[in-house]
Chain A
């Protein structure tokens, strides 16, 4: 028998006793909805915890701290250098490798009548752009004398006494800034100024308490600064500094080191790339790795909830078993006739399995709809209940119940699978119907 014909027959047979079919579908739907809603609490709480850990941090970011190296047989840790960065950039799945060098001194900045001192980060702007860094206003610097400032840079700039107004972040864009740097040559202190243009303002930090008053400059400008200071990273050298330190910070001293963040194209790549970097001797951190541990505990929790929920589905499947057993008994004459005209036992089995799987799928579908409604109701109603009954306020972002697509799919498959399995025994009984006994029955 063709599948299409079997489907048609199975659906018609289900329609013969509509009320019994509807009640069985309803029982399955309740079982399925119970499973989804129960598990959704696990998903909801996990989501809340994960969100609080991850905050606004980028999930595809891997922070690379240091690299383990052997120096004269001894294990040492050093910050990544240009060679390490090139190695990381070549890894498959890596979107960008951002690097930061701290300027060795905090220059004084002046913008018309405003003055202030702040730290300077030397960054590789193309990598910043490739990493997906967003700006509050403007664009990423492209020329050596173009800079980006932090969202709170304006708060650093203090006006002269007679000027009371302060600058807003948005007023900084396209303004020229004087950056004053110092260096000691012998006992003499020399100063020089670089005129730079603010072309971009960084996005405000995600956490309210964080401040970003920094100025971000390019490596080209750093080279100019180094030409003036004659030290690596523009370090300000005290005239009393020992010669060893002078040598170390000199332009021919140790290679420049960076704070490095690796960004992957997909969150799924983070684990693989983290593991590779760890194996290569890097000390790395990513939110995903931290979340993995949390997720493991929640996985156990959710499996427990799934098991409890599945019991409800199994109870519902007893209803399907009963319905199908009754259907076999009621339709034994029809089965006998079909066998007499040449129906293969596999055809009879398939017909009854189709019926039970239809009940299961219909029940699972209705159950999913019920679960979504209940889940939405819980998320709306429980915070209200907490406020009224316990005088507790639930944070806006917290969800008691979360029904992701994966939960829906897993639950649907569990329900449809158990429902189909519950039809196995009745369908087997149908194949064993004795033709002669069945044909003697009157309807």
Chain B
């Protein structure tokens, strides 16, 4: 599903004319198989979020290659990335990243709107998805009216609505209490088994990492040798 080769990244710091390159990732090689749940763990600043952002196409690597589902995504332009994300990649963020002016229904429906799906079909698919995440009753609510756990479920529903083969999750339980965390992890397991979705989860939480089939530990921008499982 994901093939990463020689991936390195460095951020430019400082003002124009006086910039310093700060390396974050060094020569990462990694393969994530289909239907696998891989947890990327590591301390703060280890480069795990940068790795996820590189795989999600939000930043361009300094060097190295990334392939997702056989596509060399590092060669993509912004437009190609947009199309690719819409069809192949779902995102779950720590702070949900829902649009506050939209209802629960509209937030979940958004990828279908962008994909130009017929309104009637959109309605059916969105309702089905809301029922699946247990939020059908709250479809007309604005996201600010929901609890953190419910908002994260809306975020998951939005990421699933296009049935992407890959979901990238950045600290998905970071803003949730223990009960909601447990519910979300069960849901991830269920989606992986039922819909055969591959998950790449960035977390520093052992509980979350325990849901994964495999763990990748990052330390100072490198995959820690002791836990490497390529």
Contact = CB atoms under 8 A, between A and B. Distances in A.
B225 interface: no
B156 to A, nearest CB: 13
Interface residues of B, number: 27
Given A337-B97, A337-B98, A345 B82 contact: yes
Contacts of B56: 340
Interface in A338-360: 338-347
A433 to B, nearest CB: 11
A37 B103 CA distance: 45
Interface string A315-338: 000000000000000000110111
Interface stretch (A85-93, A115-123, A374-382, A435-443): A435-443
Contacts of A210: none
B131 interface: no
B116 A339 contact: no
Contact of B83 (A13, A340, A342, A436): A342
B86 A2 contact: no
A346 B58 contact: no
Interface in B85-99: 85-87, 91, 93, 97-99
Contacts of A346: 79
Contact of A340 (B59, B97, B115): B97
B111 interface: yes
A345 B79 contact: yes
A157 B66 CA distance: 109
Interface in B39-62: 53, 56, 58-59
Contact of B86 (A13, A336, A341, A435): A341
B217 interface: no
A78 interface: no
B111 A342 contact: yes
Nearest to B94: A439
Given A338-B110, A341-B111, A345-B78, A439 B93 contact: yes
B100 interface: yes
A387 interface: no
B113 interface: yes
Contacts of B110: 338, 341
Interface in A1-49: 1-2, 5, 12-13, 16
A337 B82 CA distance: 12
Contacts of A5: 113
B163 to A, nearest CB: 13
A346 B78 CA distance: 10
A343 B114 contact: yes
B148 to A, nearest CB: 15
A1 B101 contact: no
Given A337-B99, A340-B91, A2 B116 contact: yes
B158 interface: yes
B157 to A, nearest CB: 12
Interface in B67-87: 78-79, 82-83, 85-87
A333 B98 CA distance: 10
Contacts of B115: 342
A341 to B, nearest CB: 5
Contact of A1 (B53, B78, B113): B113
Contacts of B86: 341-342
Nearest to B111: A341
Nearest to A437: B58
16 contacts: A1-B114, A2-B116, A5-B113, A13-B101, A333-B97, A336-B97, A337-B97, A337-B98, A340-B56, A341-B91, A342-B87, A342-B114, A344-B79, A344-B83, A435-B58, A436-B53
Q: Which 5 A-B pairs have the closest CB atoms?
A: A342-B86, A342-B85, A344-B82, A435-B58, A337-B97
Interface of B: 53, 56, 58-59, 78-79, 82-83, 85-87, 91, 93, 97-101, 110-111, 113-116, 158-159, 162
Given A338-B99, A345-B82, 20 more contacts: A1-B113, A1-B114, A2-B113, A2-B116, A13-B101, A333-B97, A336-B97, A337-B98, A340-B91, A340-B97, A341-B111, A341-B159, A342-B83, A342-B114, A342-B115, A342-B162, A344-B79, A344-B83, A436-B53, A439-B97
